[in-house]
Homo-oligomer: A and B are copies of this chain.
Amino acid sequence: WVFLWEKGYQEKDSVVSSVTTKAKGVAQTNTSQLGFRIWDVADYVIPAQEENSLFIMTNMIITVNQTQGTCPEIPDKTTVCESDANCTAGSSGTHSNGVQTGRCVPFNGSVKTCEVASWCPVEDDSRVPRPAFLKAAENFTLLVKNNIWYPKFNFSKRNILPNISTAYLKSCVYDAHTDPFCPIFRLGQVVESAGHSFQDMAVEGGIMGIQVKWDCNLDRAASLCLPRYSFRRLDTRDADHNVSPGYNFRFAKYYRDLAGQEQRTLIKAYGIRFDVIVFGKAGKFDVIPTMINVGSGLALLGVATVLCDIIVLYCMKKRFYYREKKYKFVEDYEQGLAGDTEQ
């Protein structure tokens, strides 16, 4: 019955939670543009801290040593030109990298494009590196620290359980079967648990949800109130309608050159944002909801009476006899009464 099934005798409360995350891991890359380079957590987590999520850069298009100046646009339908007449000084489209100067200049030997005032040289993001630049991110780990609080019951707990020691926390990795309460997740495993390929996702980026569920029956021991982790890809995944996939954004590191001029390194960062979503309900026996639920349960029993009446009086063949018996015709009494007063 619903009353027992839904624990109607308990007062309910929703979880209040705080989350902190911390990534660990080192990757090395070796490209002609940047040479041999080591990437650590301060390099690939952007911004350094967020409230409930963490972005890990897995791929990038880097444009070094940009300065303010004028240069030819990247060639595309709207920027290729044959003469200055094709370019409009001062115009700037939604997708352009700068403001046109009105001149048509050679982009390379064969193509001419409109010149723009912008950070030069402009970024060429037509080709996304494949495989992902930081493909080693698959083995990075993510520590999720989560404290919950049920205000009504003043019950609080954290996902680093009392029986977890510092030594265990240093070496464990979450596994649904062997280590279901270790709060350290290997990124590759998180993505795979959600049914996706990490290396595919790393190329264009995406959003992963790490769901922490705290369903607690506080009538039982507090040690039975445990977090359950599950993983889900939150952005789209329909391969057939793949408009504007993935997740990326641009940021820059600013420098001064020897002459004091401002330079910057522009990075178009593709990566995976891990959103930690905490939810849960706690229940505890309480007199008031018990009374109310018992009450409405019985009220529903009362409905049975009404239903029986309806069936008996309106639906059955011999309904006239029942009706006669059910309703005592008060009008008779009124007439009788009238007769009485007339006497």
- Report which A residues bind B (CB closer than 8 A): 2, 16, 18, 20, 22, 24-26, 28, 36-38, 40-43, 45-53, 55, 68, 92, 94-99, 117-119, 141, 143, 145, 147, 149, 158, 160, 162, 164-166, 169-170, 207, 209, 232, 234-236, 238, 241, 243-244, 247-258, 263-264, 266, 269, 273, 275, 277, 288, 292, 295-296, 298-303, 305-307, 318, 321-322, 325, 328, 330, 333-334, 337
- A236 and B136 CA atoms in complex are apart in Å by 33
- A52 and B82 CA atoms in complex are apart in Å by 43
Q: How far is the CB of A337 from chain B (nearest CB, A)?
A: 6
| Residue contact A98 to B38, C-beta cutoff 8 Å | yes
- A89 and B160 CA atoms in complex are apart in Å by 34
- A25 and B118 CA atoms in complex are apart in Å by 12
| Residue contact B251 to A42, C-beta cutoff 8 Å | yes
- A50 and B52 CA atoms in complex are apart in Å by 10
Having A2-B292, A321-B334, one finds 19 other A-B pairs with CB under 8 Å, namely: A16-B234, A18-B207, A18-B235, A26-B98, A26-B118, A37-B68, A40-B98, A46-B48, A51-B273, A143-B244, A149-B232, A158-B235, A160-B236, A169-B243, A254-B255, A256-B257, A296-B300, A299-B300, A299-B306
Known: A48-B47, A254-B253, A264-B42. A18 touches B299 (CB 8 A): no
| Residue contact B306 to A295, C-beta cutoff 8 Å | no
| Residue contact A164 to B306, C-beta cutoff 8 Å | no
Known: A18-B207, A37-B68, A250-B41. A147 touches B234 (CB 8 A): yes
Closest 4 CB pairs of A and B: A48-B251, A18-B234, A42-B252, A47-B47
Residue in B145, B234, B254, B273 whose beta carbon sits within 8 Å of that of A149 in the complex: B234
Hey, which chain B residues are within 8 Å of A117, CB to CB? 28, 36, 38
| Residue contact A330 to B337, C-beta cutoff 8 Å | no
| Residue contact B47 to A99, C-beta cutoff 8 Å | no
| Residue contact A51 to B51, C-beta cutoff 8 Å | yes
Known: A20-B235, A38-B117. A252 touches B295 (CB 8 A): no
Hey, which chain B residues are within 8 Å of A165, CB to CB? 243
Q: How far is the CB of A110 from chain B (nearest CB, A)?
A: 25
Q: List 30 A-B contacts (CB under 8 A).
A: A18-B207, A18-B235, A20-B247, A24-B94, A26-B118, A36-B117, A37-B68, A38-B68, A38-B99, A41-B250, A42-B266, A48-B249, A48-B251, A48-B269, A49-B273, A50-B50, A51-B53, A51-B275, A145-B244, A147-B234, A253-B254, A258-B258, A296-B299, A298-B303, A299-B303, A302-B305, A318-B337, A321-B330, A321-B334, A322-B330
